[in-house]
Amino acid sequence: MADLLDCKKLVLEAAQRLTREGYLVGTGGNVSVLIEGEDAIAITPSSMDYLALTEADICIVDFARNLREGEHAPSVETGMHLAVYRQRRDVNAVIHTHQIYPSVFSLLGRPIPALFDEQVANLGAAVEVAPYGLSGSGELLENITAVVGNQCNAFVLRNHGALLLGLSMEHAVRNVKLLDKAAHVYYLALALGQEISLLPPTMTETIFDLMKSEQRKEIRRKKKLERAKEPEAGAPCAD
> Which residues are tagged catalytic?
77
CA–CA separation, 140 and 106 (whole Å): 14
CA–CA separation, 148 and 142 (whole Å): 10
Q: Mapping DSSP to helix (H, G, I), strand (E, B) and coil, where does residue 40 land?
A: strand
CA–CA separation, 93 and 31 (whole Å): 8
148 neighbors 155 (Cβ within 8 angstroms):
yes
Residues 6+ apart with CB under 8 A from 66: none
81 neighbors 91 (Cβ within 8 angstroms):
no
